[in-house]
Amino acid sequence: MKLKKEVALYIHIPFCKQKCFYCDFPSYASLDYLMDDYVDALCDEIENKGKDYLIRSIFIGGGTPSYLNKHQIKKVLTSLSKLTLGKDIEFSMECNPGALEEDKLKIMLENGVNRISMGLQAVQNNFLKDIGRIHTFKDFEENFKLARKVGFKNINVDLMFGLPNQKLEHWKESLEKISKLGPEHISAYSLIIEEGTCFYKMWDEDKLNLPLEDDEREMYSVTKSILKKYGYNQYEISNYSKSGYECLHNKIYWKCEEYLGLGSASSSFINGYRYKNIDNVKNYIDKINKKESVEENITLNSLEDNMEEFMFMGLRLIEGINIKEFKSRFGIDITSIYGEIIDKNIKCGLLEKKEYNLRLTEKGIEISNTVMSEFILDK
């Protein structure tokens, strides 16, 4: 019997109750009437495309997957259970306070979901309102405790710094309160103003009072010290976990390993090819129903693309990239491609080499985008 290729699996749910003001993901707050048809089409794609692979991790993201009703959630999870799943896989699902109930949590747990990722962003209600969240901090606390009561033992909480009008003491308060609740994993991202978002329009009109760069840098610095105090290990620029709870699925992305994306707007990287499904939800449903391909933008990565991505993504990890792995993947010594860039950044105190690992220093992490941009190759 032919062995199935092992991949991570991402499932996209494009529906939200309300679009957050900073969000540039392909998610929609006005397409509820398509939810049933979308779930049917998604299950069709899962069972047809997913059957050819051995699944090593699953991540259901969005949008807001927990915005689906309990019957729709059960339907998606039942389709996923028909695939060939690896032993003891990590199975994550994004859940937003304000779109979560006990029945939904029980269905998730009973049908294989063993990790939930809760979007919070801040503990202060005024900031939650100002960024377009639909919940209060009390809603979040109740949902978090409910998830524990139902039996979830692996919970991530998303937090965001650099918000409009946010001060250092506000950010410290968010970190302290969430650390005391004791989730297994905390993602702490800085706000990025993306084109096409509500915040971009406000920023363009000079209506956003964002923290200064130095203040944001201090917020990042205090994140590491506060979370360390509570037993969280930083393993990626924006991600912290208790021992044994690093997110396997995201590490697959950062290590440039293979993954399959299903659902509208999802992306895949398999056999050296990158491709994504069409964004338009109605078109996605129609094409699936007509047994037509929903894939677009199919490109074969060049050797240079693969090397760049290996460096870009791998340097996000605190352990950095493995020099031996570079050689085994690409058949070439890293110094013959990046020797000068590496030496220069080591001399500037932005990179450091420890045995076979090359990683960003603390100073390098602060200007990581600048350092990483140097690994783009002239083609």
For tokens 């998730």, the residue is: 108
Q: Provide the angle, in degrees to the nearest 10, between the axes of the packed helices 168-181 and 213-229.
A: 20
pLDDT, tens digit, 9 for 90 and up, residues 204-253: 888 887 888 899 999 999 999 999 999 999 999 999 999 999 999 999 99
> What whole-number distance in Å separates Cα of residue 270 and Cα of residue 5?
9
> What whole-number distance in Å separates Cα of residue 52 and Cα of residue 34?
28
Beta strands in 30-176 (DSSP E): 53-62, 84-95, 115-121, 155-161
> What whole-number distance in Å separates Cα of residue 4 and Cα of residue 53?
5
Peptide bond just before 50 cis, omega within 30 deg: no
Is the per-residue pLDDT at 196 higher than 90?
no
Strand-pair category, 295-300 with 267-270: unpaired
- C-beta pairs of 197-200 under 8 Å, 24+ apart in sequence: 197/21, 197/22, 197/23, 197/24, 198/19, 198/21, 198/22, 198/132, 199/21, 199/22, 199/131, 199/164
Greatest CA separation found in the chain? 62
Q: Which of 299, 166, 296 is nearest to 220 (CA)?
A: 166
Strand-pair category, 5-13 with 53-62: parallel
> What whole-number distance in Å separates Cα of residue 57 and Cα of residue 259?
9
pLDDT, tens digit, 9 for 90 and up, residues 109-130: 999 999 999 999 999 999 999 9
Please enumerate in sequence order all residues whose Cβ is within 8 A of that of 356, keeping only pairs 6 or more positions apart, or say none.
322, 323, 324
Q: Which of 7, 21, 62 is nearest to 38 (CA)?
A: 62
Strand-pair category, 259-262 with 5-13: parallel
Is the per-residue pLDDT at 170 higher than 60?
yes
The pLDDT of residue 1? 57
Among 180-189, 196-205, 279-288, 360-369, the minimum mean pLDDT is found in 196-205
> What whole-number distance in Å separates Cα of residue 335 and Cα of residue 78?
49
Task: Kindly state the average pLDDT of the residues 274-284.
Answer: 97
Is the per-residue pLDDT at 317 higher than 60?
yes
CB atoms within 10 A of CB 290: 7
Q: Please, are residues 86 and 53 in contact by the beta-carbon 8 Å criterion?
A: no
**And the tokens for 322?**
């493995």
Secondary structure percentages of the chain, helix, strand, coil, to 5: 45, 25, 35
Task: Kindly state the average pLDDT of the residues 322-329.
Answer: 97
Decide which of 262 and 99 is more confident: 262
How sure is the predictor about 375, in pLDDT bands with cuts at 50, 70 and 90?
very high
The pLDDT of residue 360? 98
Task: Kindly state the average pLDDT of the residues 53-60.
Answer: 98
Q: Please, are residues 368 and 324 in contact by the beta-carbon 8 Å criterion?
A: no
Q: Which of 5, 60, 8, 9 is nearest to 255 (CA)?
A: 8
Three-class SS of 236-259: ECCEEECCCCCCHHHHHHHCCCCE
The pTM of the full predicted model, rounded to 2 decimals, is 0.95
Q: Please, are residues 242 and 232 in contact by the beta-carbon 8 Å criterion?
A: yes
